[in-house]
Structure 1
Amino acid sequence: MSFTKTSLLWNFNAARDTLKPGDTLNSSSSLVSAMGKFTMGFHIYDHNLNYSYLVVKWAASHNYAWIANRNKPILYPLGILTLDQNNTLKITHKDGEPVVLYSASETSNANNIVATLLDSGNFVLQELSFDGSPKRLVDALLPGMKLGVNHKSGHVWSISSWFTPNSAVPGAFTLDWDPEAHELKIRRRGVVYWSSGAFRNGRFKFILPDESKLRYNFSIVSNEDEDYFTYSAVDQSGISEWVLTTMGRLYDFDETIDIAQADYCYGSNTDGGCQMWDRPIDCRHAGDRFEEEKGYFNPTGSGSTATSDASNTSFSISDCKAACWKNCDCLGFNYLFDNQTGCRFWTGHWKFIKDSTGYSSSNIYFLTTKASHNHEHKRIIWIGTATAAALLTMVLCIMCCLLRRRIFLLPGENRRKIDDKELLDVKESYSSNNVNALQNDGDMGHDLRVFSYASVKAATGNFCDENKLGEGGFGPVYKGKMSMGQEIAVKRLSRCSLQGTWEFKNELILISELQHTNLVRILGFCIHGVERMLIYDGYMSPEYAMGGIFSTKSDVYSFGVLTLEIISGRKNNSFYNADRVLNIVGYAWGLWNEGAGLRLMDPTLQESFIEDQLIRCIHVGLLCVEEDAADRPTMSEVISMLTNESMSLPIPKRPAFFTSRNEVDADMSVKESEVLSGNDFSRSDIVGR
Structure 2
Amino acid sequence: MILLRKVRVFSLFILSHYAVKFCIGGDIITASEYIQDPGSIISSGGLYKLGFFSPNGTTNRYVGIWHNKIPALNVFWVANREKPVLDSSGVMTISNDGNLVILNGKKEVLWSSNVSTSGANAKAHLLDTGNLILQKQSSNMSTNDTTAWESFQTMCDTFIAKMKLSTNLRTNEKKVLTSWKSPSDPSIGSFSISLEPLNIPEVFLWNGTTLYWRSGPWNGKVFIGIPEMESVYLDGFTLVDDKEGYVYLTYNFAEVSYFSYFFVRSNGELLQPFWDEKYKKWRIDWSTQASDCDVYGKCGPFGYCDAKKSPICSCLRGYEPKKVEEWSRGNWSSGCIQKSLLQCARLKNGSTKAGKIDGFVKLENVKVPNYAIWSSPLEDKCQEQCLSNCSCAAYAYDAGVGCMYWSGDLIDVRKFSYAGTTLYVRVAHTELEGKRDLRAIIATAAVVATVIFSIGTFFAWQKSKKRGGKDGEQFSKASSENMLRGSLSKVNLQELVLYKLEELAAATSNFSDANKLGEGGFGAVYRGRLLNGKEIAVKRLSGASGQGLREFINEMEVISKVQHRNLVRLLGCCAEQDEKLLIYEFMPNKGLDAFLFDPLKREQLDWRRRFNIIDGICRGLLYLHRDSRLRIIHRDLKTSNILLDEELNPRISDFGTARIFGGKEDQADTLRVMGTYGYMAPEYAMEGRFSEKSDVFSFGVVLLEIVSGRQNNSFNEEDQSLSLLGLAWKYWEEDNVLALVDPKISVGCSEIEIIRCINVGLLCTQELATDRPTISTVISMISNEIVGLPRPNKPAFTERQTTTDTGSSRQSQKKYSANNVTITALEGR
Q: TM-score range by the shorter chain?
A: 0.3 to 0.5
- State the structure with more CA Rg: 1
